[in-house]
């Protein structure tokens, strides 16, 4: 199915949803809304349909024995329970397996690609660690994710200040390294 066909199909259902919540989808100001919602939904879930970004590696000359840390990568997802936005930061530490390292922007692109889907943050964090381990050709990966869930903020308990902090690791990581990474890798605080 082409993207335009997909947009039209989703838009048709959005029209129905608008009607069901008590709106008039034919009201002039709402006429383009179903199409806009469809495009936004496709953009926020494009990680489900897109191939992962291509990763170019640079020769480091010799094997890197320490962790490379990329902090505060912004991410946007949809929570899989309510389809409401989850926004926050991902911080990643990885140890290259060989004497080659990926460009910094590639780590950011991978996180953005993998986050554009429906997520449960706890599982997302672990899956992201596995994905990064493979795609970054790393021997070990540690991830920390700080998320604001709009479903918690706007409905249910309506907590504006609670944040979800999750961590996960993958590969060959020692107990001492884990203790060190937990202290070292931070996500900056999120205010809304």
The single residue of 97, 112, 127, 151 carrying the catalytic annotation is 151
Distance from C-alpha of 104 to C-alpha of 58, rounded to nearest angstrom: 11
Q: How many residues bind Zn ion (CB under 5 A)?
A: 4
Q: Tell me the torsion sign for CA atoms 45, 50, 54, 55.
A: positive
Quick check: is 54 catalytic? no
User: For the window 24-63, what string marks contact with Zn ion as x by the rule CB under 5 A?
Assistant: ----------------------------------------
* Minimum distance of Zn ion from residue 156's CB (angstroms): 8
> Any catalytic annotation for residue 98?
no
Please tell me the distance from the alpha carbon of residue 70 to that of residue 96, in angstroms, as a whole number: 13
Structure tokens at 39: 């495009």
Residues 79-98 that bind Zn ion (CB under 5 A): 79, 81-82
Q: Are 141 and 129 in contact (CB under 8 A)?
A: yes
Of the pair 79, 170, the CB lying nearest Zn ion is at 79
Question: Do 192 and 159 contact (CB within 8 A), yes or no?
Answer: no
117 is a contact residue toward Zn ion (CB under 5 A): no
Give me the least distance between CB of 96 and Zn ion, in Å please: 36
Residues 136-165 binding Zn ion (CB under 5 A) are: 151
Q: Which active-site residues does the annotation give?
A: 79-82, 121, 149, 151
Residue ranges that bind Zn ion, judged by CB under 5 A: 79, 81-82, 151
């Amino acid at each position: 199915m082409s993207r335009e066909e997909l947009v039209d199909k989703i838009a048709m259902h959005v029209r129905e949803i608008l009607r069901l919540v008590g709106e008039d989808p034919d009201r002039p100001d709402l006429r383009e809304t179903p199409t806009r919602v469809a495009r936004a939904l496709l953009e926020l879930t494009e990680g489900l349909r897109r191939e992962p970004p291509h990763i170019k590696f640079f020769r480091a000359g010799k094997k890197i024995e320490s962790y490379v840390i990329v902090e505060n990568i912004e991410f946007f997802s949809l929570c899989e329970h309510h389809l409401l936005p989850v926004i926050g930061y991902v911080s990643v530490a990885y140890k290259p397996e060989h004497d080659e390292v990926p460009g910094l922007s590639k780590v950011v692109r991978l996180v953005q690609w993998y986050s554009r889907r429906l997520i449960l943050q706890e599982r997302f964090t672990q899956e992201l660690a596995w994905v990064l381990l493979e795609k970054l050709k790393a021997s070990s990966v540690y991830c920390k994710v700080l998320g604001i869930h709009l479903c918690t903020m706007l409905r249910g308990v309506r907590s504006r200040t609670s944040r979800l902090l999750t961590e996960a690791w993958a590969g060959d990581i020692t107990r001492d390294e884990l203790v060190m990474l937990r202290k070292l890798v931070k996500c900056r605080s999120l205010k809304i």
